[in-house]
Chain A
Amino acid sequence: MRILGVSAFYHDSAAALVDRGEIVAAAQEERFSRKKHDSAFPEHAIEFCLDHAGIALKDVDYVVFYDKPFLKFERLLETYLAFTPKGFNSFRMAMPIWLKEKLFQKTLLTKEFQKFEPEFNWENRLLFSEHHLSHAASAFYPSPFEEALVLTMDGVGEWTTTSAAVGKGHDLRVHREIFFPHSLGLLYSAVTYYIGFKVNSGEYKVMGLAPYGNPVYKDLMIEKLMDLKPDGSFRLDMQYFNYCTGLTMTNERFSKLFGRPVRGREDDLLDQFHMDMAASVQAVTEEIVSRLVKGLIRQTGLQNLCLAGGVALNCVANGKLLREGVVENLWVQPAAGDAGGALGAALLAYHYYKQQPRQVNSNRLDGMKGSYLGPEYAQDEVERRLKACGAVFEVCEDEDALVEAGSSALANEQVVGWCQGGMEFGPRALGNRSILGDPRSESMQKVMNLKIKYRESFRPFAPSVLREDVTRYFAMDVDSPYMLLVDTVRPEICREMTGEEAALFGIDKLNVNRSELPAITHVDYTARVQTVHQETNPLYHKLIKRFKDKTDCSVVINTSFNVRGEPPVCSPEDAFKCFMGTEMDALFVGRCAMYKDAQDPALKIDYKSAFELD
């Protein structure tokens, strides 16, 4: 039985194909359309999934959409009703889009699918899953656990903002839910908005900014903004928020409470206040997540936890759950955001709706295949595509030669583009569409942020480390293949700050060299670790191993292959364009090696302004 899951029309459209419970392919539409967070119908992603499996849409038994539009509309209407007449402006904005498009999603979906298969009949084959159930399914079914607690947290789905379920075998039952407008995701987004970042994409910047500040407003947030119970359930005080009825996340009262107006995006500089706000909302999030998990463990006795939903991308909070011993085993869906809903919807239809059994790997590997579920290109195709772009490249004789060339470039402190194998599903680059660098270099963080990624210099980079060597550098000794856990850098390789350095405020702290791996050590001596496994990515594992042979360092910097505001690259052409538009030194696509000084200077493009900043 083949099932196609689809998420669309909100943000992060995606498609995923499941064949008899096995995840065959999955990709986000933004990677093909080159529009970040593209919400359009994922026609390219669907086309890829079908091509990858060598089938047509008629060979797919069910198509599942990841949420229920009518339930959302019900929430919207009831919310407007509850706040009438306050929400008229928001109502005026929302209604045209709902009445023209969103209410007719079934028709819209049918029409789109009829482009693939003219006889497509929705009555027999189109199913709709609930938003948080899709998330829960994406967290539980591919996990390595037979039985687990499943916690999903995000902004809002239909009504649910937080759900706690228990999964066992192929069964998945929701036990508790928190409903809109009380939402941890929206609280985090509200502070993101207040600090002056873009809602729905700037949240990870808040998380990156948090270690520069002190959580001085944590108690105020808990006391004034919410009613937080010991078991982690909460209700927000809606007097301080504007998202139910207005076109902003927070209101005047919120600004008065913290003593500053909302930061303008362009003009105001980030200062200690904004960093303290970021640290405070991060601390509140960690507190709520920790209480929720503790409460659920008390109730169920289960020690395996699966996470999904946008809040599950908060790898600092995830790391703390393990570090503080709140839970014994943790698995986080790598595509925890709405794109992963496509995968969850397909898995839910197979295991829950069709009651099909679920196989759990006995060797504790999960079902995501390293999350390398996207397009990959054969060597001859890579060469053909690169030639068409005008790229000058050498072809490495074999994999060993490729690894040798890549590791040499890294050891020479070059910034390396690495585009290999299947593209990652989910927001993190995991070594197949990555920009890599030497973490020992003192200047690498600044160089990569300002000359390659064109983004704020406060943002840290993440390390990829050989799984077998993780304990040499980091306090953790667990698998973190999806870069969704933050842990501390081992004190042995850290350098203590002098009194003068410790007294520095905010971003000035960044310039202080804090460890033997300065580029990946955040100001609070933590790192967002990806463990690299021989089983799931042998080529990347080999590259780092070769780098280790040369340098005695089993860590490389790994950041997504894109510039700020651009979706990560997908094809060889995307990779070459990004290479030519930035100050990257070398690029390896398949076995093709490209060096910047060998390229035609006429192919250099102004890449920086090609994408809207996030």
Chain B
Amino acid sequence: MILKEIWKFLRVRKKLWLLPIILVMVMLGGLLVLVQGSAVAPFIYTLF
């Protein structure tokens, strides 16, 4: 579901070039999630 939505979003925004970057970042981010195990982050204005 989420992948379908992201695909639709990228097409509407004409940003398909972001796809490989998203994949790499998501993989890297996923790795970080696994290592950290916590989704708690300090409040930084532009992070969210």
Q: Give the interface of A toward B (CB within 8 A).
A: 9-11, 70-72, 74, 76-81, 90-104, 106-107, 155-156, 180-181, 186, 189, 199-200, 243-244, 247, 249
Contact = CB atoms under 8 A, between A and B. Distances in A.
A107 B29 CA distance: 20
B32 A180 contact: no
B46 A10 contact: no
Contacts of B18: 74, 77-78
A93 B46 contact: no
Contacts of B44: 90, 93, 243, 247
Contacts of B38: 96
Given A77-B25, A200-B43, A97 B5 contact: no
B12 to A, nearest CB: 10
26 contacts: A71-B13, A74-B15, A74-B18, A76-B47, A77-B18, A77-B25, A78-B18, A90-B47, A91-B25, A93-B41, A93-B42, A94-B47, A94-B48, A95-B25, A95-B29, A96-B32, A97-B40, A97-B48, A99-B26, A99-B33, A100-B39, A106-B5, A155-B46, A156-B46, A243-B44, A247-B42
B10 to A, nearest CB: 9
Given A93-B44, A249-B45, A103 B2 contact: yes
Interface in B17-36: 18, 21-22, 25-26, 28-30, 32-33, 36
B45 A186 contact: yes
B9 A97 contact: no
Contacts of A76: 47
B21 A96 contact: no
A95 B28 contact: yes
Given A77-B18, A90-B47, A243-B44, A98 B5 contact: no
How big is the B interface, by class? Answer: 20 to 34
Contacts, number: 84
A90 B5 CA distance: 26
Most buried by A among B2, B21, B29: B29
B47 A93 contact: yes
Interface of B: 1-2, 5-6, 9, 13, 15, 18, 21-22, 25-26, 28-30, 32-33, 36, 38-48
B42 A99 contact: no
A96 B31 CA distance: 9
Contacts of A180: 46
Interface of B is mostly: helix
A96 B45 contact: no
Most buried by A among B32, B36, B42, B46: B46
A96 B36 contact: yes
A79 B33 CA distance: 20
Contacts of B29: 91, 95-96, 98-99
A199 B33 contact: no
B3 to A, nearest CB: 11
Contact of A70 (B6, B43, B45): B6
B33 to A, nearest CB: 5
Contact of B46 (A9, A78, A244): A244
Q: Which 7 A-B pairs rank lowest in CB-CB distance, beginning with the nearest? A: A95-B29, A100-B39, A93-B41, A94-B47, A96-B33, A70-B9, A96-B39
Given A90-B44, A243-B45, A97 B39 contact: yes
A100 B22 CA distance: 15
A589 B17 CA distance: 60
A353 B20 CA distance: 34
Nearest to A98: B29
B5 A70 contact: yes
Nearest to B43: A200
Contact of A96 (B5, B6, B41): B41
B2 to A, nearest CB: 6
Given A71-B13, A96-B29, A101-B39, 8 more contacts: A9-B48, A70-B9, A77-B25, A94-B47, A96-B39, A106-B5, A107-B2, A244-B46
Nearest to B46: A243
Contacts of A79: 46
A100 B25 contact: no
Contacts of A200: 43, 45
A10 B48 contact: yes
Contacts of B36: 96
A156 B9 CA distance: 20
Nearest to B9: A70
A96 B37 CA distance: 8
A319 to B, nearest CB: 26
B38 to A, nearest CB: 7
Contacts of B26: 99
A96 B46 CA distance: 15
A192 to B, nearest CB: 10
Nearest to B29: A95
A200 B45 CA distance: 7
Contacts of B2: 103-104, 107
Contacts of B48: 9-10, 72, 94, 97, 102
Nearest to A81: B21
